[in-house]
Amino acid sequence: MADEISITLTCLSNNATETISVSRSSTTLAELCEFAVALLGLPSSAGLTLHRNGNHIFTNNPSLSPSPSPSPSPSVIVMNVGSAGIENGDLIVAMPPRNNAALSTSASVPAPAVAPAVASTPSSGGAVGGLGLDFSSLLGSSNAAQTNASSSSNNGGGGRGRGGGRGGGLTFNIPSSTPGMFTPAAPVQWDGMSLDDALSRNPNPEHFVQILLDQQRHPNMLKELNYHSPTLATKLKHAGAISMENAATVWRQEMQKNTMSSTLSQTMKLQQEQEMERRLRTNPMDIDANAYFGEKIKKQNVEDSYRQMMEEFPESMGRVLMLYVDAEVNGYYIQAFVDSGAQSTIMSSKCAEQCGLSHLIDTRFEGVAVGVGTGKILGRIHMAQMKIKDQFFPCTITVMDSEKGLGDKNMDFLLGLDMLKRFHCNIDLQRNVLVFSVGSDKMETPFLHEKDLAETKGGTKGFDADKSNMEIEKMREDREDSK
């Protein structure tokens, strides 16, 4: 629609920014304040002020908003977006009041350029008359000029009356702000900038896509967006190959779509909370209202706990690498998984074949292993030589079916508690080593790092990032084509 325009709402106090489509003729400035509250996470629209190009255009006072009656009060002026001079692409700054004091009783209207003159009771010099004060000489109005002219003639043409001000009032020469003075002329960026920083510092779509698609200075930013939203990242990449204007258009349309969905969700949530507050005030024992706020408090506690965790020990969100050591069994190299929670040392049937031990399996000990899951035990190897570094350790091994045995088919050999206790092993995580007691001596071997372990064991050995990204992109494209 030709009447619709796209504007960006922002709040400097919490760095929140949203783009929204509004109607120039039907959307009022009071409604725009309500949109700002829902989209920017502001506590209330009461006392909220709107600014455009550095100029104050509106102060919201809900207590004096126009009534729905057919004959609203003539003192209340209703202004829509178009009459306030807001154009397509404008940046509107929403500023909440600095304190929670009660709002003044002035009407919810745009700030006037010049305040109207206050009529006063004639008195000597026009300063104090009866019970009122005459401030007209300070406001630079026509009444002020007339008052000063009269005062001058009554006092012999002097420049001052006994109580009046200078003729013509006070003149304040305040330089007007130029359009766009609060909008950076160039993107705000620095080396190593994250996607969140680019979004919060560059509300202008043209600036954001310029940073996003700058692969030389920000090689990881598009990858970060692709991780969160691969479809959007692909659209921007293809549009950017044509022109930056196309990419900015795609980004703006996507933000508008998300903004409308977010606005609807936030509005419904706000209405529900207001309804529950009303019900709770009416009946403090209301079951639904108490359940609603109980769930809200629970979610807030969980969110606070999550934020505290992310601030104090964010490493808990990372992947924990399991403990592996290099070993040889019957002369064949393996990576042994150290598991103090396993009762016995276990080997898969496939690994037993590779190590040439299948002929030593005693099938009299076959059965079923029960733990986190169940597995088929093929039997036991009563004596095998395991070599760690230069030391040989005799061990008894339980052999399990590779297909129906170990929960992880990639787990070839598991060094269990029986061996750890037999050789008084010490798992030293501070030095990242496994220590064996060999007689009166100590022998230690380091735990393997990520680079030493294959992907099947949680490592990165042989990992090809470009190949993996191409596979993910291919899967995404196939999924899009199938829709």
Backbone angles phi, psi at 362, to 5 degrees: -90, 105
The H or E element that residue 376 is part of is strand 374-388
Top pLDDT among 99 and 260 is at 260
pLDDT, tens only, 263-299: 777 788 888 999 999 999 999 999 999 999 999 999 9
Q: How confident is the model at residue 359 (pLDDT cuts 50, 70, 90)?
A: very high
State the chain's maximal CA–CA distance in angstroms.
130
Cα–Cα distance between 294 and 290 in angstroms, integer?
Answer: 6
Distances (CA, A) of 71 to 27, 75, 106, 109: 20, 11, 20, 18
Cα–Cα distance between 2 and 453 in angstroms, integer?
Answer: 61
Two tokens, residue 400: 């399990």
Strands 132-133 and 128-129: antiparallel
339 is catalytic: yes
What does the pLDDT read at residue 292? 94
- State percent of the chain over pLDDT 70: 75
Top pLDDT among 477 and 288 is at 288
Catalytic residue chosen out of the listed positions 197, 214, 326, 339:
339
Top pLDDT among 318 and 66 is at 318
Q: How confident is the model at residue 111 (pLDDT cuts 50, 70, 90)?
A: very low
Cα–Cα distance between 432 and 413 in angstroms, integer?
Answer: 20
Q: Which residues contact 326 (CB under 8 A, 6 or more apart)?
A: 333, 335, 336, 388, 445, 448
Cα–Cα distance between 51 and 104 in angstroms, integer?
Answer: 19
∠139-145-146 over CA atoms, to 5°? 125
Backbone angles phi, psi at 220, to 5 degrees: -100, -5
Name which of 160, 135, 130, 133 is nearest 148 in CA terms. 160
- State percent of the chain over pLDDT 90: 29
Cα–Cα distance between 251 and 209 in angstroms, integer?
Answer: 8
pLDDT, tens only, 20-44: 888 888 899 988 898 888 888 888 8
Q: Looking at the DSSP assignment, which residues form a beta bridge with residue 7? A: 20
Q: Tokens 């178009």 correspond to what residue?
A: 82
* Coil/strand/helix, residue 300: helix
Q: Report, as an integer, the average pLDDT of 154-160.
A: 44
Q: Report, as an integer, the average pLDDT of 230-247.
A: 87
